[in-house]
Structure 1
């Protein structure tokens, strides 16, 4: 886990040319000044959220078409969300050129699974809703750095490998319990991670998401349940904690029938 704490240090080596690129933006210094003020920088925890495409489609309403690209066969990024922030600063725009150098990697690990929304617009929404709030941290103070951090975290949390090593694999028949999945993930994600489900159209609990609490320096285990209010990333999720007493399904990915992977 020490590797997580070093992520910000690793990203501090951004080239002078790239730093100059950011200084050329007229909004750069103004945005930093705004982001240094409360309530935007009063947060203590972030949630790094990964979603399982086989279950994600069950979280959409019937009018929203879910599409899983053929290249997607594992957990993907949903977002990195500072918690207990009332709203993010809208003064820091993001352009496609900001993530151009990592677009192929983002497309692989952070795709949109909604047909009517491109992957870039998914990233754009995540930056405006959450990334701009996180930008008060030195290592995330630009769209480029924010998305670099997210990709590095994705590399650290290889959930599918952890599960497969423990014999937990997608299935239309086998049911799992929160306690057995938590036991596998806790040594790597911390005790405070949350296993999230949605209820499908047949009333079954379906696993679709994992939320991993992180502190300012990206170490695992921040207490995100303390305090009275939650940030937009917490309330905006369509899921709920998987009930401890009710077994849930870990649906396989079906690229042809993403809404009915089990028929």
Structure 2
């Protein structure tokens, strides 16, 4: 699969492709990393080669929940939000690097807007903590993500880099209760920005309609666009070894021949934006 390099500038011109400037994105040579806050901890070397950066549409997320009272969309959220940054096919992470509120406190305002919990039963910090323990601790074998602060900083940088909302609007693809879209027309808009390997995912709502839920963007170990993980675009995100947590909502690739809906956000009725 062809790899495109992440652009540093907001403009994603195909003629100007340079590495996203991130601190020391290299794999450690040791089979462990140093956590200077908690001391040395044993850790496997990076067994993963690819990550999925996954963004979700809040109105689609709400359609994935059986209980409509569970969903909430904060008033400040009017755009695509981060679902996660997940290493694929790695060994299980040890539950040995705890995360505290103070670790990401300086990012809290940005995280509340771009990486919020959309469940009433789960605070945003609980969501972030679970993402770190399940996925971030495995990503931490890469220097640029080797702390909770750096891991979430990378997620926020990628979210800014892949802000495709305007590109969709410019192409006439806007949230609607009446007009459905086909995978091909959306893919043609997103491919120049996200590469050919991105996956457009849907959920099926209670009226058996396909509803746009999220986009999965494959990245290589050094955070360049595109990654060959044996033809399995969804892959297997790392599973933590800690206690069971609330599961991610299930999604599936939007069927190519069946139009899907891109529902508008309704902060008052997040589960029923079109009633």
**Under a length normalisation based on structure 2, what TM-score does the superposition of the two structures give?**
0.84
Cα-to-partner distance string for 1:192-236 (whole Å, 9 max, x where unaligned): 100000000000000010000000111111123437972347x95
Asked if 1:243 is matched to 2:243, the reply is no
Please list every run of 5 or more consecutive structure 2 residues that lacks an aligned counterpart in the other structure: 1-5, 9-16, 26-33, 240-246
Deviation at 1:62, TM superposition (A): 1.6
Q: Note the C-alpha offset of 1:148.
A: 0.4
SS at match of 2:22: helix
Q: Are 1:114 and 2:126 an aligned pair?
A: no
Deviations 1:150-192 (A, max 9, x none): 0000000012111111110000000100000000000110101
Tell me the TM-score normalized by structure 1.
0.87
Q: Is residue 259 of structure 1 aligned with residue 271 of structure 2?
A: yes
Match in the other structure for 1:34: 43
Q: Which residue of 2 aligns with 1:75?
A: 80
Per the alignment, residue 231 of structure 1 pairs with 237
- Alignment size in residue pairs: 246
1:1-263 equivalences in 2 (<5 Å): 1-3=6-8, 6-7=19-20, 9-12=21-24, 24-27=36-39, 29-30=40-41, 33-36=42-45, 41-62=46-67, 65-226=70-231, 230-232=236-238, 238-263=250-275
Matches of 1:104 and 1:111, distance apart in 2:
10
Measured in 2, the distance between the counterparts of 1:5 and 1:44 equals 20
Contact 2:35–2:147, Cα closer than 8 Å, also in 1: no
| Higher share in helix | 1
- Kindly tell me: are residues 64 and 257 of structure 1, through their superposed partners in 2, closer, same or farther at Cα, counting changes over 3 Å? closer
Aligned counterparts of 1:85 and 1:5: Cα–Cα separation in 2: 28
Equivalent-residue separation in structure 1 for 2:259 and 2:230 (angstroms): 24
RMSD over aligned Cα, in angstroms?
A: 2.2
